[in-house]
Structure 1
């Protein structure tokens, strides 16, 4: 029997991995095709609906098979049946399950007039009343669809709607790269369920590049986006120039900042791991040499090597206080002692210890963690606060570990002069691209 294969139907099915296909073929050659194939008799054509892999093996080895005919009103009804049938399969990945639920939700929502592309679709009898107009109550329809699926899938209505967004995002990926879509559905992209819909909704222009990164081996959507943004900043560095009040230099601060004169404050975030501890003693010497009398060194640090850091800096400059920088939102675990870290010490040293000229609070809230430019990047909100506390407008701020340019950008916004150094060439370019202006 010759069956008709429709791409519209075949593309709905999850392809077997090579090893799975080989095992199926081995089993069929030993035991035959035991389960019937599902076909749809559409105007005399026997369209294959379920059993594509078994049909392929049957044709390859000239094996016999049986069929069961199902009736469908149209292709959409056939696809709806396929999605529900696949949902009953064992060993689905979480991505595959939520993709199927999302497709079923989107299909039913479309049938019931909840298509987002037409806010007036739906049954005219279902209306939303207000003081000025009468419109179809599509919101209630969507809610009913999600609640109905919630009863059968055990997911909340909110999760059902999120599944719908995920399914739409995967369909967009499929149009660009079926290979990337398969990686997503196989569970190889760890944050795809949550991050992929955000990109397709908020930054759709980045989706082709994200898909390319997934094809090349990125295992997270957020990692792909981060890499794309880095590349954009690096390219931007070639076509911008730094403002006259911003001076970012490429190289080791101990070399490239030798010529700078006295600065009003050093605000910096040196690396925390043990292999970089020697830099803290050099930072103390640098601060003693380059700060104006009474100028402040404001240094972010971690807790793990806090005693060594305090000891090294104290050899050259006077300790004043330790501020708490509190992290809102997501935090990270310090694996060495199994602690969820929600704050960061910020050490205040001074060249010639004096009393603060005004009463200040030693608790600063970092509103949002920012890691687009560098893994160790600090939030703009925290840096701005320290600049405002320890400098005045037109003062000069130095950052010997400029990184991706957060302190430089904050100085630009707050009308301070800036001079700094970054030893890593790629990160240096990111900083220039971030702070620079078009030529």
Structure 2
């Protein structure tokens, strides 16, 4: 039998009636469910009509499908020694929200996982197995699956040179891409574009990302892919206004020079550094003025070399 933990981490007090014991433990788990925003973000949002239909079904027939709970500790989540028990919701976020709002009971099922990464993998595969996903949601999840698998398998080998490491990572990426393409019946190029799309979506504000996946906010897929390619992982999240500004900057025509200009490798590196720093500029940061000054210095030095 599954060993339950109470919210305090102490073994439950035994009752004579084992059925009452199990029910009491289940009730305590249900009363102490933790929702992690990161994991909730892996669940493609329902359209308004789908959510309302789900709510009507639950009001009429009850919550027939159990919610899935991962019993773990806080230390497993944040990589500390904190042994505070947690009951983390990993499937059924919409059902939980509706039942909580309406004061309705629901069933739960407990699942065992060793790591947070294994939970992520399970949730992505679980969602990809459902048939009600939009093309955008399917693309996002395939790209996310590629990134997770590549990250898990692509840890650096210390005894390899940088060139060998780069070649190894490239080979790993291609193998992962080919395998997922075969799994989902698409081309390897599609998996590559899915990766860029998922990276781009993850660089939008949470609300904008949800609106795009719901179909509530229309942004060209190619534009989101361009955001994924251009911006570093630690860049500030983009609002819709930021995305439109990015689109305007990317679509501005570049003037053709009247004579050929030879650009040195050093200049190319400076250009890449300028693009990286410009993308990471954050007006709300305490170092904003200093970042601007450093960017101006880079621009000045580039101008002098060309």
Q: TM-score, normalised by structure 1?
A: 0.43
Query: Unpaired segments of 5 or more residues in structure 2?
Result: 1-29, 74-84, 259-306
Q: Deviations over 1:154-189 (max 9, x none)?
A: 12222212211221111111xxx2222123323443
Report matched runs for 1:62-73 at 5 Å: 62-73=103-114
Determine if the alignment matches structure 1 residue 31 to structure 2 residue 72: no
Determine if the alignment matches structure 1 residue 47 to structure 2 residue 76: no
- Matched with 2:192 is 161
Query: Unpaired segments of 5 or more residues in structure 1?
Result: 115-120, 215-220, 230-370, 374-378, 385-439
Q: Deviations over 1:122-152 (max 9, x none)?
A: 596xx79xxx975472222112211221121
Does the C-alpha gap of structure 1 residues 122 and 28 become closer, same or farther in structure 2, counting only changes over 3 Å?
farther
Is 2:66–2:109's contact at 8 Å kept on the other side of the alignment? yes
Structure 1 residue runs of 4 or more that deviate by more than 6 Å after TM superposition = 207-210
Does the C-alpha gap of structure 1 residues 5 and 182 become closer, same or farther in structure 2, counting only changes over 3 Å?
closer
Determine if the alignment matches structure 1 residue 61 to structure 2 residue 92: no
Does the C-alpha gap of structure 1 residues 161 and 58 become closer, same or farther in structure 2, counting only changes over 3 Å?
same
- Matched with 1:148 is 179
Tell me how far apart the structure 1 counterparts of residues 255 and 164 of structure 2 sit (CA, whole Å).
Answer: 47
Q: Following TM superposition, by how much is the alpha carbon of 1:20 offset from its aligned partner in structure 2, in angstroms? A: 2.7
Is 1:209–1:228's contact at 8 Å kept on the other side of the alignment? no
Does the C-alpha gap of structure 1 residues 68 and 94 become closer, same or farther in structure 2, counting only changes over 3 Å?
same
Tell me how far apart the structure 1 counterparts of residues 237 and 117 of structure 2 sit (CA, whole Å).
Answer: 31
- Matched with 1:11 is 41
Q: Secondary structure at the match of 1:89?
A: coil
Is 1:146–1:161's contact at 8 Å kept on the other side of the alignment? yes
- Matched with 1:96 is 137
Tell me how far apart the structure 2 counterparts of residues 226 and 102 of structure 1 sit (CA, whole Å).
Answer: 22
- State which structure, 1 or 2, has the greater radius of gyration over its C-alpha atoms: 1
Is 1:105–1:145's contact at 8 Å kept on the other side of the alignment? yes
Question: Aligned to 2:224, which of 196, 217, 225?
Answer: 196
Q: Following TM superposition, by how much is the alpha carbon of 1:190 offset from its aligned partner in structure 2, in angstroms? A: 4.7
How well do the aligned residues superpose, as a CA RMSD in angstroms?
3.4
Q: Following TM superposition, by how much is the alpha carbon of 1:202 offset from its aligned partner in structure 2, in angstroms? A: 3.5
Is 1:38–1:50's contact at 8 Å kept on the other side of the alignment? yes
Tell me how far apart the structure 2 counterparts of residues 156 and 122 of structure 1 sit (CA, whole Å).
Answer: 29
Is 2:203–2:236's contact at 8 Å kept on the other side of the alignment? no
Tell me how far apart the structure 1 counterparts of residues 68 and 231 of structure 2 sit (CA, whole Å).
Answer: 41
Structure with greater helix percent: 2
Q: Following TM superposition, by how much is the alpha carbon of 1:197 offset from its aligned partner in structure 2, in angstroms? A: 2.6
- Matched with 1:171 is 202
Number of aligned pairs?
A: 215
Does the C-alpha gap of structure 1 residues 372 and 145 become closer, same or farther in structure 2, counting only changes over 3 Å?
same
Is 1:122–1:138's contact at 8 Å kept on the other side of the alignment? no
Structure with greater strand percent: 1
Q: Deviations over 1:77-112 (max 9, x none)?
A: 111111111112223222111110111110000011
Q: Secondary structure at the match of 1:63?
A: coil
Is 1:103–1:164's contact at 8 Å kept on the other side of the alignment? yes
Is 2:47–2:214's contact at 8 Å kept on the other side of the alignment? no
Q: TM-score, normalised by structure 2?
A: 0.60
Does the C-alpha gap of structure 1 residues 172 and 225 become closer, same or farther in structure 2, counting only changes over 3 Å?
closer
Tell me how far apart the structure 1 counterparts of residues 230 and 36 of structure 2 sit (CA, whole Å).
Answer: 34
Q: Following TM superposition, by how much is the alpha carbon of 1:113 offset from its aligned partner in structure 2, in angstroms? A: 0.9
Tell me how far apart the structure 2 counterparts of residues 133 and 27 of structure 1 sit (CA, whole Å).
Answer: 57
